[in-house]
Chains A and B, each alone.
Chain A
Amino acid sequence: MNNLLAIILKDTFTLAQLNSRVRVLKSTLLNEFFGGSQTQLTAGEMSWLSSLPPDAKSKFNKDNVYKIFEEIEKAIKLLPTLTIYLTFEPDEPTIFKIGSFARKLYQPNILLDTKIDMGLIAGCSLVWKGRKKDYSLKSRLDEKKGEVLENFKKFLR
């Protein structure tokens, strides 16, 4: 199970992406084992499914599929998650870059939970284990508000 999660996490960097991919895999396997209507998959999802190594799916059978996914969902809840507020909507390559950088810097299994806050102007703010730290341009402006105002007033004169 841990091996499968490690395989999924290799190219999955956000919590939303991970949940989505686990849901897609589970849906596909359940459809294979028990039949029923298959949810329509996007091109990206199909591409990701086909990129999985063959032995990743070979461990599943009708008897253990529910149990394995239950354990995976439990393990996901225990993964370290860093919430990151950005000023733009990141695409997959950007997420890949940020995620890779974060995993190099901190832990190899760290997950990102990306959110948008346009008020930050530029940069980002981070939330880790319930604590928030603002590293954005707005935060820097607030820190140097007096100085900025003074310069601005000088400029006006």
Chain B
Amino acid sequence: MQLPENSVILITGTVAILASILYLREYFLRKKIIESQKEVYLETKQKSAELLAAAFEAESEIVSGGNWAAKKLISEYSNRLQNLIDGSRDSIISAQDQLINFMRDLQKRSLDFEQASKVSTEKRISQTFERLEQKLSDFLIQTEQKTAASIELELKSTRSLIETYKNAQLKLIDENIIAMMEQTLSIVLSKKLSLKDQLDLIYEALEKAKVEKFIV
């Protein structure tokens, strides 16, 4: 469907007029809001300044009042502290006295203990020395006895050894004497003994063997 060209122009114009009206309305509305905001701001600022002044004033009052209270408080604290220090000093002096007494008592006890310990130690040392002396004496006696026995044994052994050696030497001498005699006899008899004597000895041996029934 086709509208006539005039109608279009008319509608467009109407819309444009309406848009301009709306724009203007919005523009003035906003301008009014901004102005009202400015007023509120100024009012707020003024009230803030008033409040700040009041606050300063209140602060000054409080500070002046606070100083006095603080001085009073310090004074009270000072008095109390002095009292407390005085009380503590007494307590400390008392404790110090007690400590001194305790130390004296401790010193006395320590001296007593030291004395008792000294006596006990001396007694023990004395006993130890007595025991040591006794043991040493016993040991010396035993050693003396053992030494004497050992020397006696050694002497006995030496005497026995000498006796054995003497006997061995005597036996050796005897053997040498016999050997010398035998050799001498052998030399002499081989020269001096006649054939007849030799034969007689052999006959004698053969007869003796028969008598003894050595040859059967």
Chain A residues within CB distance 8 Å of chain B? 82, 84, 86-88, 94, 97-98, 101-102, 105-106, 118-119, 121-126, 128, 131, 133, 135-138, 141, 145, 148-149, 152
- Asked whether B8 is an interface residue with its Cβ less than 8 Å from the other chain, the reply is no
Q: Which residue of B lies closest to A126 (CB)?
A: B209
Which residues of B lie under 8 Å from residue A121 when comparing CB positions?
Answer: 182, 185-186, 189
- Asked whether B3 is an interface residue with its Cβ less than 8 Å from the other chain, the reply is no
- The secondary structure that dominates the B interface is helix
Q: Are B209 and A133 in contact (CB under 8 A)?
A: yes
Closest CB in chain B relative to A81 CB, distance in Å? 11
A86–B215 Cα distance when bound, in Å, is 17
- Contacting A at CB under 8 A, from B41-61, are none
Q: Which residue of A lies closest to B185 (CB)?
A: A121
Known: A105-B207, A135-B209. A141 touches B182 (CB 8 A): yes
A119–B87 Cα distance when bound, in Å, is 136
Closest CB in chain B relative to A105 CB, distance in Å? 6
Q: Are A87 and B190 in contact (CB under 8 A)?
A: yes
Q: Which residue of A lies closest to B180 (CB)?
A: A152
Q: Are B205 and A94 in contact (CB under 8 A)?
A: no
Closest CB in chain A relative to B56 CB, distance in Å? 160
Q: Are A148 and B209 in contact (CB under 8 A)?
A: no
Which residues of A lie under 8 Å from residue B195 when comparing CB positions?
Answer: 88, 94
Per a CB cutoff under 8 Å, which of A87, A105, A148, A152 touches B210? A105
Q: Are B214 and A126 in contact (CB under 8 A)?
A: yes
A-B interface, 7 closest residue pairs, ranked by CB to CB distance from nearest = A135-B205, A123-B201, A121-B186, A128-B215, A122-B189, A133-B214, A124-B202
